Amino acid sequence: MGLEGAGFETIGTIEIDKRARATISANRPTWRQVGSGDVVALADAPGDLGVDRRELDVLAGGPPCQPFSMAAQWNSSSRMGMTDARAQTVVATMKLVGVLLPKYVMLENVAGFISGASSALPYIQSALQDIRLTTKTQYRVEHRTINAADFGVPQNRKRVVVILVRDDMDWDWPTPTHVERPVTAWDALGGLIGENPPTRQGNWTTLLESIPEGWNYQWLTSRGGGQEVFGYRTKYWNFLLKLARDKPSWTLAASPGPSTGPFHWDNRPLSSSEMKRLQSIPDSWTLTGSYREQVKQIGNATPSLLAQAMGKQLATKMGMTPSEGLRPFDRRDDCPSPTQPKAIPAHFEQLVGAKNAHAGEGKGPSPRLDRKASVVPA
């Protein structure tokens, strides 16, 4: 959606998830879905991709982030990086670069994609060296960690954008447009009337009324302002995490648990319509599947306005006149004051008391490799 908003024509999509493929078909039936959607199989047998070598303007994609995620950086048993089977999508992407030799390649991923022990950057650089030797075409690697909120997305979402620049092309990064005044959750969601909002699940979520807007469970620790129900830093960050109306949203997850935020300031899960807005996906974009399937598609997406900002810069560098495209939400001046937190429900009072905080970085419990003895977070 972002590249379309920047003025590019999509001539093919490679998407392996069946539900996401159905969503593409529902919204853009003229877009060609290439092969089975498996980029690994396509790279091994590219066939006719409908474009000549060096003709394609942009090859864009988002390989699975799990091999490079923050959890993989800290958990030695999952710090697999390019040895993870899912990282074969990166290998396949680089094979397609060698086949197509596009002017630009744009990839979006988590920070660990280009830094840390599981980084894909050494592999990408090695693959580009092979492309240079076999095709006499050279690419340089540009990368930057970008907060989507700096480009009008109503969500603090830091991701790495990697641009591979062919030897005859130019690149410099677009200037952020919303650093001084980011678009807030209220700008995006205030007054939104949509489907019936989902109901919260699980016992812990009854504590949401006792947590102020913009806080998580840490309000109910020795470092917060509420009663001490939990030990400081003993839960994952988005446990009971709530939106603040006057700030951009926290980062949306693709597979949240029943106690995983961000939750609405009305102390409930966000609807898919609300989540679309926080990812700057247009209201007109129809999502197929169940609520959980829609949440997965939204959480895995690149925010449309961020992609559009990158796309407009690419278009400018190619001598195109970028389209007007998608517009950020207008800034509202009617944001209500936050609701004051309530006392914790009576059935949690037995948990109130002094708690041990997390022991410190690197001193927490190590994950057990025995799958029969799994650890389930509260």
Separation CA 6–CA 174 (nearest Å):
13
Separation CA 245–CA 338 (nearest Å):
8
Separation CA 187–CA 192 (nearest Å):
10
Separation CA 238–CA 73 (nearest Å):
18
Separation CA 3–CA 213 (nearest Å):
34
Alpha-carbon dihedral of residues 276, 278, 283, 286, nearest 10 degrees?
-10
What is the sign, positive or negative, of the torsion defined by CA atoms of 299, 112, 171, 156? positive
Which residue type does 36 have?
S
Indicate the burial class of 170 (C-beta count within 10 angstroms; 0-12, 13-18, 19 or more).
exposed
Backbone angles phi, psi at 150, to 5 degrees: -70, -10
Active site residues: 65
Residue 109 makes CB contacts below 8 A (sequence gap 6+) with 62, 63, 65, 68, 120, 159, 160, 162
Question: Kind of pairing, strands 158-166 and 104-109?
Answer: antiparallel
Alpha-carbon dihedral of residues 306, 312, 314, 315, nearest 10 degrees?
160
Chain centroid to CA 196: how far? 25
| CA distances for 201 relative to 244, 249, 293, angstroms | 21, 21, 17
Cα-based angle 39, 132, 146 (whole degrees, multiple of 5)? 60
